[in-house]
Structure formats: structure tokens, C-alpha cells
Amino acid sequence: MEDETTASEGGQRFDPAKVGARWQQELERAQRYFKSWHDRCVKIEKIYLDQQSDQTSAAKRRFPMLWANTSVLQPAVYARVPQPVVERRFKDAQPVARIASELVERNLAYTGDEADIDSIMRAVRDDFLLCARGTVWLRYEADFEPLDMGVEPSAPPANGGLPEGLLGGLPADGMGENGGALPEVIADERVCIDYVHWSDFLHSPARRWKDVTWVARRVPMTDEEMEKRFGRDAMTSRAAEGAAGKKGESQAERAENEGKTHIWEIWCKSENYTVWIADGAAVALEVSEPPLDLTHFWPCPRPAYGTMSTSSLIPVPDYVYYQQQCDEIDLLTKRINKLTDQLRLKIFYPSGDGAISPAIEKAMRPENDMVMVPIPEWAAFTDKGGSKAIVTLPIDEVQKVIVACMAARKQLIEDVYQITGISDIVRGDTQASETATAQRIKSQWGSIRIRDRQAELARFARDIIRLAGEIICDQFQPETLMLVSGIKLPTMAEKQQVQMQMQQMQMAAQQAAMRAQQMGQPSPPPPEMPPQLQQMMQAPTIDEVVQLLRNDSIRGFQIEIETDSTIEPDEDAEKQRRMEFVQMVGGFMQQAGAMAQQSPMLVPVMVETLLFAARGFRAGRQLESTLEQVGAQLSQSASAPKPEPQPAPGEMIKLQTAQVKAGAEQRKAELAVAEAEIEHRATVEKARGEMAAQAIDQMRSAQSLYQ
């Protein structure tokens, strides 16, 4: 690593020492800003995990109110994995946008499965319920392999290749060990979703999230990871300062972070650069341009916030609002447990009565359910009244105190339910005598207090999916998009090649038809395109899809990324959507078939109506292209002229017989006309001959008279 690191922000050079000193001050200022909230969250987390410092036998007797409430709210605010839903913003006939949305949706679904987004959302949910803030961080990683010189590399992404910065631990300059450029191509690429603990995330003090100027997360890195990421020099010189500068760690934290260095990754929006700096170090490890060009700049969505005011972004955990009640509940629980220990039968008896005392002691032993004890001094025992020989400690007053403490604790628990909004219907308590309508009304009102929490986690999941979708659209190679989604699309070159082949085939067919016409032979049928090639020619190309995805403005206009519900579990949701779609199509076909027979002119209207309905179903998107093709064929058939109706087989035979007779009569008439014409020609020729003979005789008679 060189002594100076540059970042091209308007041509300005950054000094790592100055940048490091500045950001250490910024981090310390933010830590002081969040210190009260941080200390409060540490205490709440220890209470939740039952890790308080006063772990004596008496102190352990607590009522786990925080754990109980959190356990009830956990499935209520988040219960199922968010599934990406990518649709066209306007449900028009846009094949490119439809294929692009399906490609992105399948890539997002695979990314969520690989990143285990369910466990990430559960961790965020717990931080959200306990500390009122949950955060994640997204990264783009790529693996490279040497380029096979016999194969042309695929087209690079729109930003010119792999982003700079932390991308799979690879050097940003793309140079080899000996300084030469390595011919490599992307072998694998992915979007990583990292959970960030509430104590490892900082941002600039602000009142609203849009006023935040920088965000940072703390990443523990081993020496090998630091050497691979920043180089040996940075690990030995600058990171050592940060490791030595850390103070105030507890024994558990020191054991957990043993052999690791805390590195802060900082994204500064106001100055458009990123900084990597060790915790406590005076020199920055790296200052560079942002490795990702994102719409809102941040590599993380807006955190999932709980209770906040409009004065600051410091959240208030829910436990704060009923902490006093929980302390009183714990105090009463300890008191009840101590009083319960006093509920023992304690007996007093005289110890100097000789043989009577051992007999009483033997009778009152706990292991003796039924025992017969002989009394030698029976007269002395009866003189004292028998039972009056022993005296028991009164416990009725202790029992009354315990009952009063339990009643007070129950009232405090009810107060906590009123504060938190956890009603009986949320806990599943109901009465069998209630009607279904009454239970539904109670359920609606019982969950109204947690709707904001549900909406906040749903918004957070949607922002994660949108951010991952933006990274996929901007960075993923076309081959990766098709490989992950399982959708094979032709390239523009392949389409052009098929078009050239079809043109050549058509020209060859035309030449063959001309030769056949010259030779008096029937023309051969024109060449037909195979169905697979027809489907390929009708489908959009991957180049058109990638062009749409790479353009941020056009992509935002034509497709939108959402998530389905994260609250109510519905295992048969996809099956239900498919059944609804099939029922809709089946019912429409039955009605449209009868109308089409009566009024063929309405077929185009029916086709558009069917497509309009199908585009409203997620399950119908896969069949939309097929419906469009079939609809076009039906519309064309309806507009074409109908052929004349064919007669029945018996009528066909009669018609053929009549045609044969008519043909025979026509040929007979033609022969008669030909014979008459021949006779007429013979008569004319005979008359001409007679006239010529008469003319010759007259000429001869005239010559004889002249002589």
C-alpha cells in the first residue's frame, strides 16, 4: 500500500493521515451522541438474556416480563420470509419490460435464499423490538478466473467492469503480483446482505434520515483478511495502531474479538467517497470512490426505527415505557418467593419431658406420612392436653400477604399490557361462546397497536429487496442474469444470424420457383421457420433487456420492485393465486366462446379483456406471451373471410355426379359446335370453288367472242 491514497473527487487528493484524524473525530462525536441510547440498550439486552450482574439466588427470582412480551411480538411483527415481487409499473403489452421484471425477480429470489434473508430479518426484528433500531449492509462481490484466450470475453457491465473498493477482497487496480495486467473474466458474482449489530452502526447526528451525511459500520477482520484486503504494509503499520488504541473492552468482548481488528467502513455522501479506518487509528487504510453507484448513495436501507421523535434519530426502546412496572413486578416476585419460603409448618414443643419429646419429634418428621408413636408418660401427656403439648407457628398472615402481593403483581402485569398494547386476542385467549364476527373484531382492534411495527419491518424488507435489485441491474452480467433465472434469451447477433439464414432460404425458394415455372412444373412450397426459431424471433433479446435494466430512469419508469406480506403466514399463497387465475380464465373462456360464435367482430375486444385480466395476476405473467400469440391468431382468424360451407357427403356425391353430367353435356355441345363449324367451312369452300369455276368459264367465253 502506498503512503498516499487518492480519490478522484473533482481532482482532489486526500491525505490518509488528515482524513484518518478527521474521521476519528467524527466517529467519537457520533459515539458520544448515541452514548445514552447505547448504554440503555446494553442494559436492556442483559435483562432480556438474564445476564444481570447481581446473579444471586435471591436476585434470580425475577418475572421475565421483557422476554415474554418480546416473544409475543416477534411472530406478530414478522412471521414469514419476504418474497420479491417485480412487476411492470403499467400493465401494458411490453415484452421487454415483462422479461426484465421476471429476470430480476428470479435473481432476487435466489439472492435472498443464498443470503439467508430470513435469519437476517429475524435478527433485525429482535434489534427492532429490543433497541428500536435494526440495520443491514449490502455488498457486491465477484470472483474472477483466467481468461481463455480462445474464447472472446463477454461484454463488460455498463460501468466498465468490477466496481472499485471491497469486492471479494480483490485489489481494486486489477494488477498481478509482478505488476502486469491479468486477463481475467468474471466467473461468479453475487449480492451479499450482511446483518449489522445495533452497536456496530453509526451515522452523522441529524433530525431526519435524509439529512444524514455519512453512515458507517464496524467490521471485525483478522490479520489474513486485512492483508488480503489492504495489503501487508497497511496491516502492519496502520492497523496495529488501531488494535493498540482500543480501550474499555469487557472480558467477553475481548475474548470474542481476540485476534481481530475493528475496521470502520464509512460512506460520506456529502463528499462522495468512502473511507476505511481502523478503530482508534490515526491514519486511514483506504480512501476511494464509492464502489457502487446507487440511487440514494447508501449501501444500506434506512434502519428499521421504533419510537422516535422529530427532534433526532435517537430511538427510544419500548422497554423504557414500562421499565418501572417491570421493576415493581420483579420486586413483588422476589417478595412472594421469600414469603413462600416461610410457608412451612414450624412446631414448638417442650424439650425437658423425658420420653415425650422424642416421640413428638418422631411423629413430626416429614418422611412419616402415617406413624404410631408410643407415649410412655401417657399421664403427663394427657395432663397437658395432648395437642397442647405442641404449638405451631401461625402462617395465615403470611398467606394473606402472599395473596395481596400476587394481586398487586397481576395488576401491574395488566398495566404493562395496556402500555404495550398486547391484548388477550394477541395471546390467543378468547371465549368459546363468542361468535366469529366478535373474535374477528377483537383481533382487528387487538393488532391495531402493532400495525406500525409491522409496516416498518415490511418497509425495511422492501428497501433491502430494492437495493439488492438495483445492484443486480447495474452490475450483473447478462450471462449471470440468464443463468440464475433459468431464462434463455437470444442475443441481437443470434437474431440477425437467423434472419440472414431465412433470407437466404427465401431467395433459394424463389429461384427454385422460377426454375420450376420455366420448366412447367409446380412451384415448391415456401420454406417455413421452425417453431423454436419463431419463438426466438418473437422474444426480446438479452441486449434489449440489459439496456433497460442498466438505465436507471427508464427502469424506474417501467418496472417496480416490491415485496409481499411479511406478517401473515400463508403457505398456499402461490397455489391459491394459480387456482384463482385458472378459474378466471376458465370462466371467461366459457362466456367468450358463445359470444364469439354469435359476434365474431367482438373477438379482438375479448382478447384484450383477457389480457387485461391476466396481467393483474402474478401467476398469469408466465402465460402472458402465449396468450398474446393465441389472441393475435384468433383476431386474425375472426377478421379473415369465411370459406363457403361444405355440403354433406351425400350431397357431395350428387354434386359431383351433376358436375360430371354437366361436363359431358358441355363436351358434347362443344363437339357439335365444332362439327357444325367444320361443315360450315366446307360449304363455304365449296361455294367459293363453284364461284371460281363460273368466273373462269365467263372469262373463256369472253375471249372466244373477242377472237
Counting DSSP H helices and E strands in the chain, the numbers are 24, 12
**Which residue would you say has higher pLDDT here, 435 or 8?**
435
Q: Give residue-wise pLDDT tens across range 162-218.
A: 333 333 333 434 444 444 555 778 888 999 999 999 999 999 999 999 999 999 999
Q: Give residue-wise pLDDT tens across range 152-168.
A: 444 444 443 333 333 33
Q: Give residue-wise pLDDT tens across range 554-612.
A: 777 666 777 765 544 444 565 666 677 677 777 777 777 667 666 666 677 777 777 66
Other CB atoms within a 10 A radius of the CB of residue 156 amount to 12
Say if CB 559 and CB 104 are below 8 A apart.
yes
User: CA-to-CA distance for 607 and 622, rounded, in angstroms?
Assistant: 17
What does each C-alpha distance from 124 to 46, 85, 140, 301, 308 come to in angstroms? 18, 21, 21, 12, 17
Supply the pLDDT for residue 519: 76
Q: Of 461, 519, 596, whose CA–CA distance to 81 is shortest?
A: 461
User: CA-to-CA distance for 447 and 454, rounded, in angstroms?
Assistant: 10
For residue 245, name the pLDDT band (cuts at 50, 70, 90). Answer: very low
Q: pLDDT averaged over the chain?
A: 75
Other CB atoms within a 10 A radius of the CB of residue 275 amount to 26
Lowest-confidence segment of 459-463, 494-498, 573-577 by average pLDDT: 573-577
Supply the pLDDT for residue 12: 45
DSSP state of 541: P
Say if CB 183 and CB 176 are below 8 A apart.
no
Supply the pLDDT for residue 5: 43
What does each C-alpha distance from 99 to 96, 190, 557, 622, 623 come to in angstroms? 5, 21, 15, 9, 12
- pLDDT of 626 > 90? The answer is no
Q: Give residue-wise pLDDT tens across range 316-327.
A: 999 999 999 888
**Which residue would you say has higher pLDDT here, 441 or 651?**
651
Provide, rounded to the nearest whole percent, the portion of the chain with pLDDT above 90. 22
Provide, rounded to the nearest whole percent, the portion of the chain with pLDDT above 70. 64
Dihedrals phi, psi of 371, to nearest 5 degrees: -150, 145
**Which residue would you say has higher pLDDT here, 497 or 639?**
497
User: CA-to-CA distance for 114 and 486, rounded, in angstroms?
Assistant: 16
Say if CB 85 and CB 458 are below 8 A apart.
no
DSSP 471-526: HHHHH--HHHHHHHHT-----HHHHHHHHHHHHHHHHHHHHHHHHHHHTTPPPPPP
Query: Grid coordinates standing for 531?
Result: 417453431
- pLDDT of 493 > 70? The answer is yes
Q: Give residue-wise pLDDT tens across range 26-63.
A: 999 999 999 999 999 999 999 998 887 665 555 567 88
User: CA-to-CA distance for 1 and 226, rounded, in angstroms?
Assistant: 12
Query: Grid coordinates standing for 351?
Result: 424439650
Dihedrals phi, psi of 289, to nearest 5 degrees: -70, 155
Supply the pLDDT for residue 506: 79
102 CB contacts (<8 Å, ≥6 apart)?
A: 86, 485, 487, 621, 622
User: CA-to-CA distance for 563 and 111, rounded, in angstroms?
Assistant: 14
Supply the pLDDT for residue 637: 63
Q: Give residue-wise pLDDT tens across range 381-415.
A: 566 555 555 556 567 777 888 889 889 988 888 88
What does each C-alpha distance from 651 to 645, 656, 662 come to in angstroms? 12, 8, 16
Say if CB 416 and CB 322 are below 8 A apart.
yes
Supply the pLDDT for residue 244: 43
**Which residue would you say has higher pLDDT here, 412 or 427?**
412
- pLDDT of 525 > 70? The answer is yes
Supply the pLDDT for residue 275: 93
Supply the pLDDT for residue 136: 96
User: CA-to-CA distance for 563 and 566, rounded, in angstroms?
Assistant: 8
The strands making up 304-305's β-sheet, listed across from edge to edge, are 184-196, 133-146, 304-305
User: CA-to-CA distance for 306 and 308, rounded, in angstroms?
Assistant: 6
For residue 140, name the pLDDT band (cuts at 50, 70, 90). Answer: very high
- pLDDT of 469 > 70? The answer is yes
Q: In angstroms, how far is the first alpha carbon of the chain from the final one?
A: 145
Q: Give residue-wise pLDDT tens across range 508-517.
A: 878 877 887 7
